[in-house]
Amino acid sequence: MGENIWYKMKASEIIALLPYQRPFLFVDDIDSITENKIIGHYTFKNDEFFYEGHFKDNPITPGVILTECMAQIGLVCLGIYLVKDELKKSQKPQIVLTSHQMDFYLPVLPGEKVQVHSEKEVFRFNKLKCNVKMLNEDGDLVARGLISGMLNV
């Protein structure tokens, strides 16, 4: 874990506060986090529920799932970190995705690990807007875009 973080909240604590569970949790760990950015990762398992039908005999991770992964790491985890001082013990904040604009460049196949980088653009009145990008294990750009959402604590 990063040296300049985790002084108030550990990655495991942030992940425990996420309002998701398997099979719709797309965060394995947080690599680093500050008030302005987050880096986290997820490995798409070979038996993910969506591979059975997308596509027949040629499984590829759907773009909506890649967007969800970027939102969970890049918006929700960062948002929880930003409102950590407002949270009561074990309180799970409600977070609503309000908009996203995403461009996709490479497919993500079963078994691939991706890393999400997100930088805060604006956080005001509990609305968070972030520039996000997803890289594959080779460091190639998979997708990038802008995601925003509202946090309710």
Contact 74, 116 (CB under 8 A): yes
Range of the domain at 79: 11-152
Distance CA 64, CA 91 (A): 28
From the list 41, 54, 100, 117, the catalytic residue is 54
Torsion angles phi and psi, residue 146, rounded to 5: -125, 130
Name the domain count of the chain.
1
Per-residue pLDDT of the chain (153 residues; tens, 9 = 90+): 344 444 457 899 999 999 899 999 999 999 999 999 999 999 999 999 999 989 988 999 999 999 999 999 999 999 999 998 787 666 677 888 888 899 999 999 999 999 999 999 999 999 999 999 999 999 999 999 999 999 887
Q: What is the pTM of this model?
A: 0.91
CATH of residue 70's domain is 3.10.129.10
- The token pair that represents 65 in the structure block: 């799932």
Please give the C-alpha separations between residue 17 and each of 39, 58, 62, 123, in angstroms, as whole numbers: 17, 34, 25, 19
Residue 118 lies in a domain: yes
Three-class SS state of 22 = coil
Supply the pLDDT for residue 2.
Answer: 42
Rounded to an integer, what distance in angstroms lies between the CA atom of residue 101 and that of residue 118?
Answer: 14
| Contact yes or no for 92/127 (Cβ under 8 A) | no
Is 41 one of the annotated active-site residues of the chain?
no
